[in-house]
Amino acid sequence: MAETVQFDLVSPERSLASLQAEQVQIPGAAGDMTAMAGHAPTITTLRPGVLRVTGPAGETEYVVTGGFAEITADGISVLAERAIPRAEVTQEHLNEMLKAASDALNKAKEVFKNEPGPVDDAAKLLADMVAMGTHIGLDPNVSNL
């Protein structure tokens, strides 16, 4: 059996998971990374995506948006602004998140006309959400946005 590491997933409102995990696949802002026991201490921000936890009881997946992951010698903690078990994600959740992201993009376009930075960030966030939606098999519905 593989070595395990303490894994915590917390959102502002409650703690979603706390278990011994063999490996955790984290959707980092700079790309996915898989953390296992003995990983170098790392802090990374999250992009919207699927967090996959492999524990003794099998694999669990969560859809997470916003926040960061902290990997230390003692364990892995993911602090996500929103985290929903993948099985519970519905089309409404996705639509709501997409709408928030596209609103943010439109606002960024208005506010920062001459600065590409924030606009690109918001566009990337929306694109990440759409990609996540497709990934988990829901209709990203881009045409209505």
Partner 1 sequence: MPSLKDLKNRIESVKNTRKITKAMQMVAAAKLRRAQEAAEAGRPYAERFNAVLSGLAASVGGSDSAPKLLSGTGNDQVHLLVVMTAERGLCGGFNSSIVKTARAKAQQLLAQGKTVKILTVGKKGREQLKRDLGHLSVGHVDLSEVKTIGYVNAQNIARDLLNRFDAGEFDVATIFFNRFESVISQIPTVQQIIPAKFEQGEADAAATLYDYEPDEEAILADLLPRGVATQIFSALLENAASEQGARMSAMDNATRNAGDMIDQLTIEFNRSRQAVITNELIEIISGAEAL
Phi, psi of 89 (to 5 degrees): -75, 125
72 binding partner 1? (CB under 8 A): yes
Q: Tell me the pairing of strands 49-55 and 42-45.
A: unpaired
**Closest by alpha carbon to 128, among 8, 12, 45?**
45
106-145 residues in contact with partner 1 (CB under 8 A) are none
- Contact range with partner 1 by CB under 8 A, out of 27-35, 55-63, 85-93, 134-142: 27-35
Residues in the chain: 145
Q: Which is nearer to partner 1, 127 or 142 (CB)?
A: 127
Distance CA(65)–CA(128), nearest Å, equals 10
- Contact range with partner 1 by CB under 8 A, out of 54-62, 73-81, 123-131, 136-144: 73-81
Contacting positions for partner 1 (CB under 8 A): 8, 10-15, 28-30, 33, 40-45, 66-68, 70, 72, 77, 79, 81
